Every structure is written in structure tokens, then in C-alpha cells.
Chain A
Amino acid sequence: MATQVFKIPKSLKENMKYSFCPGCDHGVAVRLVAEVLDELDIQDRSVLIASIGCSVTAYDFLDVDSVEAPHGRALAVGTGVKRAKPNQVVFSYQGDGDFASIGLAESLHAALRGEKLTAICINNTTYGMTGGQLGPTTLLGQKTTTSTMGRNVEYYGYPIKIAEHVALCDGTAYAARVSLDTVANIRKAKQAIKKAFEVQLNGLGFGFVEILATCPTNWRMTPEQAHERVRKEMMKHYVPGVYKDITETK
């Protein structure tokens, strides 16, 4: 008898039209979120806060109630939803520009207040939707359409290590950085996302996962080359790991 071993998560919309570029890790990340919503059985009480950038289309895929936030304001909007309806599971799906540049104040203050929210942040070291400009996470030396000679400190300053900053906030219950470059790392990523939801469900505080992701289109690379770059360049500066976990027993 045939056994079904793989299926579309029920938290993904039926008949969705895939709109990310070929080789982009957004698709994997969104799927992992859907799988976690299924496993925790929280799809029917979750609210997604969509942000501005490629990440906004998460509401075209995830089959949950969703509200769109102005650029950078995702975790302020999330705070409003959660404070109004404390029994809802509220999570944001954001890019690094939304979370750590225009929205850094909202992001860190939500963590400092210990809002019972989950934030998923895609770090692809560029502004993807607008065509690959320099963002807060663009690595030193990286060439983008607004750093054509490569990021240098004199002109552009330093890139931000997001997970480490979030981990410093007293209201943060869980902060991790993961990558999607191998099957093993995808599995770890899913566990981190799950944990970031669980700390919310248990009322422990702010849950955060930074996901290192590819942007082959704007990096001018093939998907294979892009994942190679994640390993060789990004993971050296943005080291994967759990930066804070208040549930860990010492």
C-alpha cells in the first residue's frame, strides 16, 4: 500500500501562484512557517503581519488572517493586534530592510517590551524588491546597485548583526540565526521557527529567527552559486546559532 510521505502543508493556500524568483529562499522559508503552523495546530488562530518588500507576498501563500504593515512598522502593528487579541498567535514575516533598517526602532522596542510576538526576518544582504540596493546587512566589500565599488566603511558604515542585537533585549525569550543552504540546515531552521512560536504560545516573551537567504537575481548568481555565497561569505560574518533561549536549562 502506498504511503504519503510528502504533501502541501494545510497552512498554505490552495492554488497559490508562486511569485518569488527562481532559486530564492523565500519559498523555503514560507513553507517552513506553514509546516510549523500545521504542527503546532495554530493556523486558525494566527494573524500574519506582512511587511514591505518581497516578504509582503507571504499573505498570498500563508492561509491565515493577515494584515499589511507600513514599511518598518510590522512589529508595531503586531503589538496592536496582540494587545487587542492576546489569545491570537501573531507573527511577522519581514526582510532585513524592514526589520533592521527602517523598522529597527519598532523591532527592538517590541523585543524590549517583551511582546508575545514571533518575528521571522529574512536576511539576504540586499533590498530585493527594488532591484538589489545596499541594505543594513550588506556585507563589507559587497557590490550592489548603490555600492557599485563595494561596501566600504567610510561611505556606508558597518552591517548589522540582527540576531545578536535582538538577543540583547531583556524581553527576548528566543533569538536564533539559521540558514537554508543544506537539508540539515533547513531542518534546524524549522526547529528554530517552531521554538520562536512556542515561546509566544507559552507567554515567555519575544521570539525571533533571522534566516540567511539567497537572492540569486540581485546577486547575479545561479541558485547553486548563491547558496555557496551563503556558506562562504554570509555565514562567516553572520554566524548561525541560538543567541538567546530562556527555556534552556543550565
Chain B
Amino acid sequence: MITEDITNKKVLSKGNYAIAKASILAGCDCYFGYPITPQSEIGEYMSGKMQELGRAYVSAESELAAISMTLGACSTGVKAMTSSSSCAVALMQETLSYATADELPLVLISVMRGGPGLGNIYPSQGDYFQATKGGGNGDYKLIVLAPSNVQECVDLTYKAFHLAHKYRNPTVLLADGLLGQMMEPVEFKPYPYAEIDNSDWALTGAKNRKSRVIRSYAPLADNQCKFVEKLFEKYKTIEENETEWEEMGTEDADIILVSFGSTSRNVKTAMKLCREKGLKVGFFRPITLFPFPNKRLNELASKVKKFITVEVNMGQMINDVKLAVNGKASVELIHKAVGAPPSPEEIQSQVEELI
């Protein structure tokens, strides 16, 4: 147990360092990574700290290798993670699909930047689809957690390790360049979750037991059908137990603003500005992007006229909101493609235009 970073008072920390420190406190045994802005501080911090603690750190030759090393470490049951950003997370999609099929507790920190292509290093939410729909092959889901401030970068990193091991499913902490680079007061409490026993599946050498094979290759069609159906039973359980969101002012709202991650901060302020003007506006923030809070949004759709999603992309989460609302209310979009989120005032004036 590492105690030196546990703080009983708030300290100032950059988002990327907060994520790295939280990983250490969560008991991350192995880190594998390849640098990319705007998340390089995570690897930099881990390189020193992991060596100091006698844990594993490898500066991988590529993101393909980094996530495959993480897969290998996870197969032994330890806590292992990698971190990356956008165009490089794109390189990791194949292994994410494998890790899902292998039911491995892999943790990926994804700090979004501008795309497509090399894009730029400004903040963005352009990888909502990449994280929640995936670029890997086959039917699978990743658990996706979206922090909106540096404290949540810590709390949800803890949760990412917990959920990954609880469900044996790759889990993504989906942050962005704004959260990664900003400094905020943050408290590092001890890892709050109980350790999960993995002795019934981890590869530790077949000593006094039968050998185990962690594989995705299923040459027979029937076996593959059964396996994928079993996987989706698990996703159903995750949806029932782990869906998390924040809502405010939704009781009497005519319009609900829906936003996730760093963008949601300005949206919350915009909602308050709208309220000051007498507009009945509510605020809704999915914290888990998978599982997505479909049920709650559908309930709210019976009571409100309109949802407006606010995103820093060309409109990605809006698709999930539309599916959740299922035609019960109209769904509009306020957005910009890449960069810092629109200001509360900009959002407020666009809300007024959409009414």
C-alpha cells in the first residue's frame, strides 16, 4: 500500500498527473505506454514512480505494442494499464477487441485531442464514437467513464480499475486535453474498492491444476454464437448495475441540456444563466458513456419538450440521446468541432435561439 500520495487535504494537480497518481494508488502493477500529446505526463510520471516502487514500466515501441503488453500483463491477473490519445488510440482498437473477447481487465486512459488524422493537440470530444462504439472488429462493448474535473479524474480512475476487474472487461477513462492539462485542487483518498479475487482464471502457471487457455479463436460457429451471447448477458448486468449520471433542475424543466466530460462544466453554468432569465432549463450529464443512461433519459423524455446536447465534436453523443429518447421529444445540437468548449454565454444564447 502506497501512502505517500494520499492526502487528507486538497492539493493542486494537473489532470494527467492526477490520473497517474490515482493509478499508483489503485495498485496498478504494470504500465506500458508510448508518448503522445496531450497525455505524455502520465507516462512520464509512471516511468519514475513505477521503477521507484519496483513495479513494471515499459516504454513500448508503439501503441500496438503498448496495449498488447497490457493485455499480456492482464492475463496474469495483475492490474495493468496503458494511456494514449486519439490517433494513437486508433492503433489500439484491434487489441481492445481481443481483450474484450479474452475477458481481460484492461484499463485504457484515453485523453482526447483534435482529429481526424493527426489533427491537433487541442481538446476535443471527437472520440466519443471511438470509445463507445469502438473501431475493433466484432460485437463488443468497452466500459467508458467520462470525468468532468480533475477530482473525477482520480475517482473514476479508481473506478476504472474496479469495474475492469469486477466484470473482466476493458475499461476506458475518457478524458480530454483540457482535463489532462488543467490544474485544479484535488484530494487523493485511498483506493476505496475491495481487491477482487482472480485466482480462478489468471495465468500463473499450471501448478497443481489444469492448464488454462485465454483465447478468442473459436473455429466453430456455434461456440462463437454462445460466447458472444454470454458476453452480452454480462453487458446487460453492467447496464443494470453501473449506469451513472448527474442531473440538476430536471424536475420542472421544459428543456434539458445533455453534455459529458469537460464540456459539461460550461453547460452547467449555461443552465444557471438560462434559469436566471426565467427559462425552465435542466442539466443532465452521463458519467458512464457505456453503460449509457438510456432508461433515465427516456423517463425524462415523457416530461420535457426538448433535449439539447452540447458537444465538442460534430454531434456524436446526440445519436445515443436520440435512441434513448426514442421520438418522445425533439433532440437538438449545440457544438463546435474542436477546441475549448463554447462559453456559458455562447451556449445560453444558442439555447435561446433553439427555443
Using a CB–CB cutoff of 8 Å, the interface residues on chain B facing chain A are 29-30, 32, 56, 58, 60-62, 64-66, 68-76, 78, 80, 94-95, 98, 102, 203-208, 211-217
Contacts and interface: CB of A to CB of B under 8 A. Distances in A.
A76 B60 CA distance: 8
Q: Which 5 A-B pairs have the closest CB atoms?
A: A80-B72, A77-B72, A76-B68, A73-B68, A80-B69
B207 A44 contact: yes
Interface stretch (A46-54, A195-203, A204-212): A46-54
A76 B212 contact: no
A217 interface: no
Nearest to A83: B56
B71 to A, nearest CB: 6
Contact of A106 (B29, B65, B74): B65
Given A66-B215, A70-B95, A76-B60, A81 B204 contact: no
Interface in A78-124: 78-85, 88-89, 105-106, 109, 113
A64 interface: yes
B70 to A, nearest CB: 6
Which of A13, A64, A69, A73 gathers the greatest number of chain B CB atoms within 10 Å?
A: A73
Nearest to B79: A84
A81 B202 CA distance: 11
Contacts of B211: 13, 63-66
A81 B65 contact: no
Contact of A83 (B68, B73, B204, B208): B73
A45 B206 CA distance: 6
A59 B210 CA distance: 13
A67 interface: yes
A84 B205 CA distance: 13
A81 to B, nearest CB: 4
Which of B64, B94, B98, B205 gathers the greatest number of chain A CB atoms within 10 Å?
A: B205
Interface residues of A, number: 36
Nearest to B210: A63
Given A83-B30, A84-B72, 13 more contacts: A44-B207, A65-B206, A66-B213, A67-B75, A73-B64, A73-B95, A76-B65, A76-B66, A77-B68, A77-B71, A80-B68, A84-B29, A84-B80
Given A83-B56, A83-B73, A67 B203 contact: yes
A212 B204 CA distance: 31
A76 B203 contact: no
Contact of B102 (A44, A49, A67, A83): A67
A43 interface: yes
Contacts of A65: 203-206, 211-213
Contacts of A169: none
Nearest to A85: B76
A221 interface: no
A45 B203 contact: no
Contacts of A109: 60-61, 65
Nearest to B99: A70
B65 A45 contact: no
Contact of A76 (B72, B74, B214): B72
A86 B158 CA distance: 26
B242 to A, nearest CB: 26
A1 to B, nearest CB: 33
Interface in A155-172: none
Contact of B32 (A47, A80, A82, A105): A80
Contacts of A66: 203, 211-215
B292 to A, nearest CB: 28
A44 B205 contact: yes
A245 interface: no
A70 B75 contact: no
